[in-house]
Structure 1
Amino acid sequence: MQTLKKFIRFYKPYKKLFFVDMLCALIASAIDLAFPQILNLLTKDVFTGSSSQIIRSLWIIGIGLILMYIVRYFCQYFITSWGHIMGARMESDMRQELFDHYQKLSFSYYDKNNTGEMMSKLISDLFDITELAHHGPENFFISAIKIIGSFILLAMINVPMTLILLAVTLIMGVFSLFKNRKMRSVFFDNRKKIANVNSRLQDSLSGIRVVQSFANEEIEKDKFCESNLKFLDSKKDSYFIMGSFHAGNSFFQGLLYTVVLVSGGFFIAKGTLRAADLAIYALYIGIFLNPLDVLINFTEAFQKGLSGFRRFLDVVETKPEILDRKGAKPLVNPRGDISYNNVSFRYENDSEVLDNVNISIKAGKTIAFVGPSGGGKTTLCSLLPRFYDVTEGQITIDGKDIRDITLKSLRNCIGIVQQDVYLFAGSIGENIAYGKPDASEQEIIQAAKNANIHDFVMSLEDGYDTYVGERGTRLSGGQKQRIAIARVFLKNPPILILDEATSALDNESERHIQASLEHLAKNRTTIVIAHRLSTIRNADEIIVINQSGIQERGTHDELLNLNGLYSKYYNMQFEGLGD
């Protein structure tokens, strides 16, 4: 019931459309119920008169029935067209709400969940919502009217026969409820299994270059086959249950006709029922069974839609871990003074990554983090834009705790260039403009020039309209990196994070990009995570971090003179280059 209450709120924007749909359903149901009564009236009164009276009455009867069914036509048209449009709009609203919520969820959620499963919840899980949203209330409403109306009219013909009919119907209802409970869990399992299939597909296709480079197509086929067969098994279970459900209800419908025929014959023999009344009674049985048929056939769509909606709720009711504090204010005209004050951090169910770290960076200065993987360098940078929140301590910008600053303004003042550049499917110009969506063409070109990518772009046939491919597959690593730098130039943030931005590039590309990065870092507070130590010689401060925390700090020359860890790392790289 709680799930249904949450589902009902999506009708609110379309309540006028919903009530008109229900009114049309009421009129159509009333017309269906009226026909046997009209036939009963005609056989008792009109068709017992003279032939001339009957013929005169037929014109009126015919025109009346045609008008009645014209009204039914328009009602049915509205129900089928606008009723489904209402359902599709609700599905669209849910999909938009789910996507919007995905945008708010913290990095920790994405650390634990697979992209393919998230896509499954966004697309296939909501696919059946339209049918549930439209046919759910309409089918239950029409069925309730027809079943209750039929029972009343049947009782008016013969009460004992109707009570027998009610007893069989109640047994049928108990059977349906029992099967519905089983179907609910099976259809929910269907959703999980198809999500696993989508997850496996997304994972394999995203890594197709790795798959083919290792000639591991057979391994991927086997893994996909395993997920696919598990989904097939789950579908088979659902069809077995659906088969017994439909077959059982079909048996009960046959039992209803048998009960009517046998009990009707008995009451005719006793003289308490006329043969003509039994014929009318049989007509109402058809009207009574029709909504039962509708409900039975709708059960599958109902359970599918409801299980999809439950998985939808699983996501939208997940609270983002990173939110604006109450009373948080925008950061206005930031200078870029940054302080890490007694900062500690641990990932969920993990050991301490950072312990009591204190770092101060003056506005416009450059600080570099160096050290082995796993020391917490990237984590330190991820805490600044609040991709994660500190476990203890605080980080401030211009003396303000970043948790007291609105997320949007905080992240707007920070530009990030990473080693693994993500380009969106689209043109080069669109990807650069991501740094400032309302940028003019001239601004985009200037950003590209600052990043030393303009000449390359102009050498392409389509220039800034060149399609980059999925994740920028049509471009080299260096070209993608320079587009990412142009994006940050366009954003023009006062604070810059360079996360091993040149470590994956060849020496020639690195020289071009290093020049672009130095231009980008000018007059900005810059944090650099460095792999190649030659790129940070001019940093105002270098901090050496390993699993035990901060080990050394100072300028390049000061650290070399210490003859400690930094000197060791530097000499190892220098010797490697010498070889």
Structure 2
Amino acid sequence: MENLKKLKPSKDLWVKIKWMGSYAKPAVPFLIFSIIVNIIFAVIGIYNVTVSKSLIDSAISGDSEATIRWLIIMLSITLISMLSSPVTSFISTHSSTKLTQNIQRKIYQHIQCSDWLEQSKFHSVSLLTRVTSDVSNISSAILGTIPSLVSLTVTLVGSFYTLISWAPSIAFAAVFIGPFLILVGKYFSRKLKDLYKEAQEEDVKYRSFMQESIQNIMIVKTFCMEKINMHRLVEIQNNKYKIAMRNTKLSVMTSMSMSFCSSIAYFTIFTWGVLNIAKGVSTYGTFTGMLQLYSKVQAPFSSLASMIPGLISTIAAAERLMEIEAIPVEKMADEKELDDIGSLEVALDSISSKVSSTFNKPNIVFDNVSFAYKANNNILNNINLTIDAGETIAFVGPSGEGKTTMIRLILSLINPTEGNILLSEGNLVKEINRNYRELISYVPQGNTLFPGSIRDNLKYGNPYASDDEIKAALKNACALDFVNELEDGLDTMIGEKGVGISEGQAQRIAIARSFLRERPILILDEATSALDPETEVNVLKAVRALPTKPTCIIITHRPSALNICNRIIKLEKGNLREVSRESILEVASELV
């Protein structure tokens, strides 16, 4: 993002055009086809003016044979236009959809592979708006603007050539007005880029507000925030209204200026034609043909002028998408370039097999690790810790002291400010990175279920799990009984954030999902906080009894979880302190 801001305006524009051009490659065949079709129809359109002129003159002169001939030609042109329209529409829809999906796929891929901490600076609704609205804007510009520019150029040159052969003075009058129209459009479009970005950001505020207030409707109700939320909504809507009115004001002023200039030129040609007919120096067919040709000369200039605001919006949309691509990507161990969706799938498959064959049951080593979310404000200070393979360890301590930060470091969602986190097994030592998430199964804090069936949520841990494996995982998580009691069992549909089941049930499904993943490292971040004491004890016993004997890292505020741990590590003010078995009661009392 910073690199974009440093660019000079002209170079900045060229960079964005090149960026859009790189995404236009899949659409090149359609662009070529569309350009050819547009050129053909531009030529036909100009020729149709000559046909119209000749038809009118033949009819007025009483030449029936010539009139019929010109009628047949005009009918043929009309039929060709009618028959070709459905074909071009289908091809246009195909190309537009494919191009949009291609850009969205690549941007989404980048979001998936981007650095978690940097990505989190963008609101999810902002990312969604960019992937949808901005991508559609760019796709339309690529597939619509280029063929239109070619068509307009051909129409302008052909119409001007024909018009100059009929009336040179009128031709130059028509062309003179063109550059003026473009200048008008350019003048009014200077503010449109900022206005477009402002409108998009305000739309993000609106969507974010609606999404968050609806998702957290229970909090809204229990805190009696309905009236305040309505005031907030009205405020956002008023801002959107003001932006829309400013946009309309610019559009109206641009349209009025262009209409005024066009009307003067049209009136001049109309007057010239009427006077010449009165003097007998021009035919009626020539008069109507000149009016049509003027429209074809003036129309490209008007179209070019009207394209300017759209092009400005497209440049702004490209800038917003380039901001996403400027988010650093998580580095893979082999630093494989992810040029397309296929290479991502191949890379991830390769990583999975390599990691699985590299480590069986690794130790986790914190080597003098410090971390700060903000400069000079360390959350962790010079942490040295080795978690042995197969060990069950608990992180305890007051909220905000770095327990979840430790987990994020192990998951490579964030990287140490200083020091290293290593995986070791025998003589093999590797610095941890995003590749080694393949070794980890994770139960995060809170409700992390997706809308859909219970079966689909469980298969997120293992897409290929059999029903027997699913039931075994549910049994270990003390969830099989309540799932069997549901009318649709595993196929029971749950809503967003697990609506339709209790918090405790949702938490047990999340634990069962982690069991299905069967990895050598299992992380439970407050994973039993919503369970009753008896169920919690049973789940924790199941964790210790897992046949894979994973290294288990537990973050907890529940004393009962400490009984299954080999070691208890207390975090306080960024430092670690191992709690002895003799002090376990003291620690347990602090957690209550």
TM normalised by structure 1 equals: 0.88
- 1:160 is displaced (CA, Å) by 3.0
Instruction: Tell whether 2:44 aligns with 1:31.
Output: yes
SS state of the match for residue 537, structure 1? helix
With over 3 angstroms needed to count, the CA separation of the structure-2 counterparts of 1:37 and 1:14, relative to structure 1, is same
Distance 2:327 2:528 in 1: 37
1:125-178 deviation per Cα after TM superposition (whole angstroms, max 9, x unaligned): 344445434322232222121112111222222333322322222211111111
**Matched AA of 2:48:** F
Instruction: Tell whether 2:240 aligns with 1:195.
Output: no
Partner of 1:143: 152
Distance 1:256 1:325 in 2: 67
With over 3 angstroms needed to count, the CA separation of the structure-2 counterparts of 1:232 and 1:114, relative to structure 1, is same
Distance 2:52 2:457 in 1: 71
Alignment of 1:236-251 (within 5 A): 236-251=245-260
Distance 2:197 2:64 in 1: 60
**Matched AA of 2:332:** D
Distance 1:78 1:300 in 2: 29
Unmatched tracts of structure 1, length 5 or more: 561-565
- 1:299 is displaced (CA, Å) by 5.3
With over 3 angstroms needed to count, the CA separation of the structure-2 counterparts of 1:445 and 1:37, relative to structure 1, is same
With over 3 angstroms needed to count, the CA separation of the structure-2 counterparts of 1:520 and 1:122, relative to structure 1, is farther
Q: Higher mean Cα deviation, 199-208 or 514-523?
A: 514-523
Instruction: Tell whether 2:503 aligns with 1:477.
Output: yes
Please give the root-mean-square deviation of Cα atoms over the aligned residues, in Å.
2.9
- 1:404 is displaced (CA, Å) by 6.4
Distance 1:327 1:302 in 2: 36
- 1:466 is displaced (CA, Å) by 0.5
1:207-260 deviation per Cα after TM superposition (whole angstroms, max 9, x unaligned): 111111111111222222222221111111111101101111111110211332
Partner of 2:581: 556
Does the 8 A contact of 1:25 with 1:75 survive in 2? Answer: no
Partner of 2:291: 282
Partner of 1:120: 129
- 1:5 is displaced (CA, Å) by 2.7
Instruction: Tell whether 2:45 aligns with 1:13.
Output: no
With over 3 angstroms needed to count, the CA separation of the structure-2 counterparts of 1:18 and 1:522, relative to structure 1, is closer
State the aligned residue count.
559
Does the 8 A contact of 1:419 with 1:499 survive in 2? Answer: yes
Partner of 1:505: 531
Partner of 2:332: 324
Alignment of 1:41-440 (within 5 A): 54-261=63-270, 277-295=286-304, 301-320=310-329, 322-326=330-334, 330-331=354-355, 332=357, 333-349=359-375, 351-398=377-424, 403=431, 407-408=434-435, 410-440=436-466
**Matched AA of 2:588:** Y
- 1:425 is displaced (CA, Å) by 0.5
Partner of 1:454: 480
Partner of 2:550: 524
Partner of 2:541: 515
Distance 1:415 1:539 in 2: 18
Partner of 2:589: 571
Does the 8 A contact of 2:443 with 2:514 survive in 1? Answer: yes
With over 3 angstroms needed to count, the CA separation of the structure-2 counterparts of 1:152 and 1:349, relative to structure 1, is farther
Does the 8 A contact of 1:132 with 1:306 survive in 2? Answer: no
- 1:386 is displaced (CA, Å) by 0.4
Partner of 1:563: none
- 1:418 is displaced (CA, Å) by 2.5
Distance 1:124 1:14 in 2: 19
Partner of 2:11: none
Q: Higher mean Cα deviation, 132-141 or 260-269?
A: 260-269
With over 3 angstroms needed to count, the CA separation of the structure-2 counterparts of 1:78 and 1:300, relative to structure 1, is farther
Does the 8 A contact of 1:368 with 1:530 survive in 2? Answer: yes
With over 3 angstroms needed to count, the CA separation of the structure-2 counterparts of 1:284 and 1:112, relative to structure 1, is same
- 1:68 is displaced (CA, Å) by 2.7
Q: Higher mean Cα deviation, 437-446 or 4-13?
A: 4-13
Distance 1:377 1:520 in 2: 24
Distance 1:189 1:183 in 2: 10
**Matched AA of 1:308:** A
Q: Higher mean Cα deviation, 330-339 or 215-224?
A: 330-339
With over 3 angstroms needed to count, the CA separation of the structure-2 counterparts of 1:274 and 1:327, relative to structure 1, is closer
**Matched AA of 2:34:** D
Distance 1:383 1:548 in 2: 14
Distance 2:122 2:465 in 1: 34
**Matched AA of 1:335:** K
Distance 2:176 2:276 in 1: 18
- 1:112 is displaced (CA, Å) by 1.9
Distance 1:294 1:170 in 2: 12
Does the 8 A contact of 1:540 with 1:555 survive in 2? Answer: no
- 1:491 is displaced (CA, Å) by 0.6
Distance 1:279 1:484 in 2: 75
**Matched AA of 2:369:** V
Percent sequence identity is 25
